[in-house]
Amino acid sequence: MQQAKQFTLVLFGATGDLAHRKLFPSLFRLWKSNLIEDFLILATGRSQADRAAFLEYLREYVEEASTEHEAWASFEKCIEFFQLDAKNEQSFHQMASALESLEEDRNLSGNRLFYLSVSPGLFGSITENLASSGMLKRDSNHQDAPWSRLVVEKPFGHDLESAKKLDDHLSRFVEETQVYRIDHYLGKETVQNLVAFRFANGMIEPLWNSHHIASVQITVAETLGVGDRADYYESAGALRDMMQNHMMQLLALTAMEPPLSLSPKDIRNEKVRVLRSIKIPTSPKEVAQSTVQGQYGPGVVDGVKVPGYRDEEGVDSNSTTPTFISTRVELDNWRWTGVPFYLRHGKRLPSRVSEIRVRFRTPPMHLFHASECSPSCPNVLRIRIQPEEGIRLSVGAKRPGPGMNIDSVDLEFNYSDSFGVDLPESYERLLLDAIMGDPTLFIRQDEVEASWVWADAVLKGLEEQPVPNFPNYTAGSTGPEDAGSIFVPLSSPRASEPEDAWGSFNGDSGSDQNHGAPS
CB-wise, 135 or 194, nearer to ligand BG6? 194
The reply to whether omega before 307 is within 30° of 0 (cis) is: no
216 close to 516: Cβ distance less than 8 angstroms: no
CB-wise, 85 or 222, nearer to ligand BG6? 222
CB-wise, 27 or 221, nearer to ligand BG6? 221
Residues with active-site annotation? 246
Q: Tell me the DSSP string of 48-99.
A: --SHHHHHHHHHHH-HHHHHTHHHHHHHGGGEEEEE--TT-HHHHHHHHHHH
CA–CA distance, 382 with 216 (Å, rounded to integer): 10
CA–CA distance, 332 with 480 (Å, rounded to integer): 29
Neighbours of 484 (CB within 10 A): 16
424 close to 35: Cβ distance less than 8 angstroms: no
CA–CA distance, 301 with 272 (Å, rounded to integer): 37
CB-wise, 15 or 354, nearer to ligand BG6? 354
User: Helix, strand or coil for residue 382?
Assistant: strand
Positions that interact with ligand BG6 (CB under 6 A):
222, 224, 241-242, 354
* Adjacent-strand bridge partners of 354: 220, 386
Neighbours of 201 (CB within 10 A): 9
Residue nearest to ligand BG6 (CB): 241
CB of 387 to ligand BG6, least distance (A): 10
CB of 130 to ligand BG6, least distance (A): 24
CB of 242 to ligand BG6, least distance (A): 6
CB of 423 to ligand BG6, least distance (A): 12
Looking at 288-404, which runs of residues are DSSP E strands?
Answer: 291-294, 296-297, 299-301, 304-306, 324-329, 341-346, 353-360, 369-370, 380-386, 390-398
CA–CA distance, 328 with 321 (Å, rounded to integer): 20
CB-wise, 103 or 241, nearer to ligand BG6? 241
115 close to 151: Cβ distance less than 8 angstroms: yes
Closest CA to 36 of 12, 70, 68, 7: 7
286 close to 461: Cβ distance less than 8 angstroms: yes
CB-wise, 103 or 355, nearer to ligand BG6? 355
380 close to 358: Cβ distance less than 8 angstroms: yes
CB of 371 to ligand BG6, least distance (A): 36
CB-wise, 20 or 112, nearer to ligand BG6? 20
CB of 430 to ligand BG6, least distance (A): 12
Rg (CA), the chain: 24
CB of 343 to ligand BG6, least distance (A): 14
Residues in the chain: 519
CB of 24 to ligand BG6, least distance (A): 17
CB-wise, 154 or 268, nearer to ligand BG6? 154
* Adjacent-strand bridge partners of 149: 113
* Adjacent-strand bridge partners of 293: 325
Residues 6+ positions from 383 with CB-CB distance below 8 Å: 190, 193, 194, 197, 355, 356, 357, 358, 391
CB-wise, 239 or 457, nearer to ligand BG6? 239
CB of 222 to ligand BG6, least distance (A): 6
H or E segment to which residue 406 belongs: strand 405-414
CA–CA distance, 86 with 116 (Å, rounded to integer): 11
